[in-house]
Structure 1
Amino acid sequence: MADPTPADPSATATPAPTHKIGVSRPDLPVTDLPSPEEVFGVRRLGPRELFKYALGPSLIALGISIGSGEWLLGPQAVGQFGFEGVGWIIVVSAVLQTLYNIESSRYVMATGEAPVVGWGRVPPGWFLWVPLSVFVVIFSFIVGGWAASAGQGLYALVHGEVPPEGAEEPRIWAIALLVVVFLITAGARRISRALELANWLMIGTILVGLLLLCLFVVPFGLWWEGIKGFVTPAAPPEGITATQLGGLAGFTALASGLNWYVMGHYRDKGYGMGYRTGFISGLRGERSTLLSSGVTFPDDAKNKALWRRWYRLLLTDMWGIFFAGAMLGMLLPTILMARAVELSGTRPTQADMPTFVAGALDAEYGRWLFYAALLLGVLILFTTQLGIFEAMVRVTTDAAHATSPRLRRLLEGDPRRFYYPFMLVLLVIIGIILHFALPISLVQWSANMSNLGALIYPFMLMYLNSRLPRPARPRPWHYVILVLNFLFFGFFFVNFIADFVGDPLVTF
């Protein structure tokens, strides 16, 4: 007679495979990588589909890049000290930051976790690294120098004149532009996609406009001097301060050691395992399930081949869009600034930097170039405002959603319920802070605080990426690149702190 008691399925079932990375966070479930065609909904990923669907997350980073470093700090340094000894620092910074971005995005693609969540896997655990990382990002960028500079440019565009020192209206315009950022994200179906499309439009307009403007007003000799300055190593010019040089290094390309704060867009785009973990949808979009922890893939031939395809897409996005755009975005404004210095016979100051080029072109060529330069400046600074403001909200949302089960229950699994209220709170705080200092000094503070990240996060990336599935692990030279990021940007931060509290370690 058969035994009537049914067998316990758990007694014989094989447990689902998992992959352990670090401490204090759940092990990662293991499942296959999706194909790019599956993620982007195409039969074949050719050149047309590549640009239409696959490329784009680096545009959000580039939009931030072209504003604070390329339009403000780089031109200011060149305007005051020339190209020699400044240009090569720009190139070294851009190369190191692009490679650092790739390593940060490697982790995102392999696990579907935003970097701020991944830091919680590094010993001693999330209770230290996650809140500390949120604090560092917000502390670095909440001063709002990019917003204040955009407000100055918009004031000049509306009134046809440079704002008087201490004027309140530019700050009102800066706050109004923060509201525009809120409206863009609120009106989106998928926030990352809305940011990509906005940056495609604005960055295309910016680069074409700058190129035409430079071709019209900049003589060939200055073009050559700028290009030569980029590729000729030389000692920093006499008189440049540690704060200026550290700001230039920190905000060339993006934000040196803090670049990871933008790389979570690869998750929302669906790169690699990001397709399995979800994204933050806009208010107009359908609610998307965002996992509180990541997923990874097995070490087999099929997934190894898929990983190589995703990694090639990442390299194309980073080198073809981010690096190329950052270099062009730095060359054009710096040679334009050098021409403005020639025309005006004066050098830019912290107070007039956001409108200096427009004023010089106005005196030489007339009002139409004054307004053209101002419009480009406002667009450039707004792309930075858009990316930084949204990223601060995104990093905090990802961190809170991933580490607090109680918050997830309160949000009923919908991170938008935290994202949008927090964005409004941050808007009010930034609106208050930007009243307390000149825009350029605020941007230099942010840039040097970004260099602080280079003392911490390269080593955390080494820890995490060395524990990824074997096909996704870095090669030895990638670790060397991360150490170089630590040495290069870390030096500028230490010198900045020494200069801030007393005498710099190195003077130029």
Structure 2
Amino acid sequence: MTENPPGVTERQLGVSRPALVVTHLPEPEEVFGVGRLGAKELFKFAVGPSLIALGISIGSGEWLLGPQAVGQYGFVGVGWVILVSAILQTFYNVECSRYVIATGEVPVVGWGRVPPGYLFWVPISVFIIIFAFIAGGWASAAGQGVYALVHGVVPPAESTEPEWWAVALLVLVFLITASARRISRALELANWVMVSTILLGLLLIDLFVVPFSQWWEAIRGFVTPAAPPAGITATQIGALAGFTALASGLNWYVMGHYRDKGYGMGHRAGFIAGLRGERRELLASGVTFPEDERNAALWKRWYRLLLIDMWGVFFAGAMLGMLLPTILMAQAVEMSGRRPTQADVPTFVAGVLRAEYGPFLFYVALVLGVLILFSTQLGIFEAMVRVTTDAAHATSPRLRALIEGDPRRFYYPFMIVLLVIISIIIFQALPVSLVQWSANMSNLGALIYPFLLMYLNSRLPRAARPRWWHYVILVLNFLFFGFFFVNFIADFVGDPLLTF
């Protein structure tokens, strides 16, 4: 590690957590082990965390909530919600990642630096993540797809076999992480395969099945502000907004992968290794860089890589991931003359394609649906374990002593416990109901975390601090997604704030 500048060793950021050690930013070439970071090296080595986020993104919102909303109500009045949500969330992702790259701390640890301190923010943040995603709707929906793939028919309402397939997929997530040398890298490679297959497969089916008029109607719906269609509820719109792109105010739970990828100061902080990997040190507290010209120039390089990863891969992929399934659903509704329900939306398109074009497209659609929902399952399940592990490791010296500084000794046992709990929950409700609950709970994060980000990012080294308009966009996240959460609660306890 490079020596600290003379007279500068630590920088206090916020409250209740240890001061950040000050050292120089690494060069991207040093981190990725290349002589020059050109276009080829960029996509081979630097792109990655956005793919994990995108694998989650092209999932519950894109295959369940978006298609269900479009299938029932059309594009106009719904599409613009998708576009606004994706733009706001991508800006929000950048701000979350800014903190990670500048300090090497993942967000759940960083929240502990905001008054009143880590004893309040860290446990409550872990609770919100677990509470939002433990319902397991993404797992249950994937199980429905596997059932249809195995039996060639959509599952009957009374069958519990889809839930058992969902449990099997949870076990598969455990096996993927357990067989990895570096968990984040294994997730990246899995999502390279799944996301590429999903987008290419959907594009080919859409080009074959969907007429140009339907493509144009969807694109027009994305860019045309219009009142929500009659009959749709603000709770449905809130679920769509919450799970378009990623998870609105809770997106921070995935951005910690920039640390494990080695972006910026993440290279100094360490990562969580898989069972096959060598034990690696994971710092309990972060590091940051001095305020000088050399580090300011290096920060600009890291920030550009972040923008490429987020806007060039995540945003573009998320918009395609919402466009391609929704126009396919709209065409399926038109061809079949009926609309999807909460019970059959995971396999609705596949059933229509079989009736119109035969078994080949039926199985192709089912495979794509399973990949879409499994990529979400992989990312969300692992992230719940990761967030809890990072929080416990950073804030509990007693735990660090118990596991002898090896976070894997907490990570994998906790994953097994969570697997058992989710396996019980998914037998209790329909997948779309579970996903709508999770999506609206994600909007809760927008009432809280934009303001915590403002506090933290305004105290970073000057080169890394946001510009004034970044704060405006964070407030817009609060207003847009926060409204839908307040409406969700009002609807849950009585009457919604708005009806259409």
What TM-score, normalized to structure 2? 0.99
Residue from 198, 206, 209 that aligns with 2:190: 198
Corresponding residue number in structure 2 for 1:347: 339
Corresponding residue number in structure 2 for 1:67: 59
The amino acid that maps onto 1:183 is: L
Corresponding residue number in structure 1 for 2:81: 89
Residue from 203, 211, 232 that aligns with 2:203: 211
Corresponding residue number in structure 2 for 1:39: 31
How far residue 16 of structure 1 moved from its aligned partner, in angstroms, is 5.1
How far residue 17 of structure 1 moved from its aligned partner, in angstroms, is 1.9
Corresponding residue number in structure 2 for 1:282: 274
The amino acid that maps onto 1:212 is: L
Corresponding residue number in structure 2 for 1:406: 398
CA deviation map 1:286-318 (0-9, x unaligned) = 001000000000000000000000000000000
Corresponding residue number in structure 2 for 1:49: 41
Distance in 2, matches of 1:470 and 1:486, equals 25
1:462 aligns with 2:454: yes
CA deviation map 1:232-251 (0-9, x unaligned) = 00001111112211000000
Q: How does 1:347-386 map to 2 (within 5 A)?
A: 347-386=339-378
The amino acid that maps onto 2:302 is: W
Distance in 2, matches of 1:395 and 1:243, equals 27
RMSD: 0.9
Residue 353 of structure 1: SS of its match in structure 2? Answer: coil
CA deviation map 1:352-371 (0-9, x unaligned) = 01000001111111111111
Residues 146 and 165 in structure 2, CA contact (< 8 A), matched pair in contact too: yes
The amino acid that maps onto 1:173 is: W
The amino acid that maps onto 1:301 is: E
Corresponding residue number in structure 2 for 1:177: 169
Residues 61 and 244 in structure 2, CA contact (< 8 A), matched pair in contact too: yes
Corresponding residue number in structure 2 for 1:452: 444
1:387 aligns with 2:346: no
CA deviation map 1:404-424 (0-9, x unaligned) = 000000010000000000000
Distance in 2, matches of 1:350 and 1:423, equals 29
Corresponding residue number in structure 2 for 1:418: 410
Larger Rg: 1
The amino acid that maps onto 1:126 is: Y
The amino acid that maps onto 2:199 is: L
Q: Percent identity?
A: 80
Range that drifts further, 306-315 or 496-505: 496-505
Distance in 2, matches of 1:106 and 1:362, equals 46
Residues 233 and 498 in structure 2, CA contact (< 8 A), matched pair in contact too: no
Q: How does 1:56-455 map to 2 (within 5 A)?
A: 56-455=48-447
Residues 250 and 445 in structure 2, CA contact (< 8 A), matched pair in contact too: yes
Distance in 2, matches of 1:429 and 1:302, equals 49
Instruction: Tell me which stretches of 4 or more aligned residues in structure 1 moved more than 4 Å.
Output: none
How far residue 142 of structure 1 moved from its aligned partner, in angstroms, is 0.2
The amino acid that maps onto 1:333 is: P
Residue 297 of structure 2: SS of its match in structure 1? Answer: helix
Corresponding residue number in structure 2 for 1:486: 478
Corresponding residue number in structure 2 for 1:17: 9
Gaps of 5+ in 1: 1-13
Residue 59 of structure 2: SS of its match in structure 1? Answer: helix
The amino acid that maps onto 2:322 is: M
Distance in 1, matches of 2:129 and 2:115, equals 20
How far residue 20 of structure 1 moved from its aligned partner, in angstroms, is 1.0
The amino acid that maps onto 2:398 is: R
Gaps of 5+ in 2: 1-5
Paired residue total: 496
Corresponding residue number in structure 1 for 2:3: none
Corresponding residue number in structure 2 for 1:7: none
How far residue 166 of structure 1 moved from its aligned partner, in angstroms, is 2.6
Distance in 1, matches of 2:280 and 2:106, equals 16
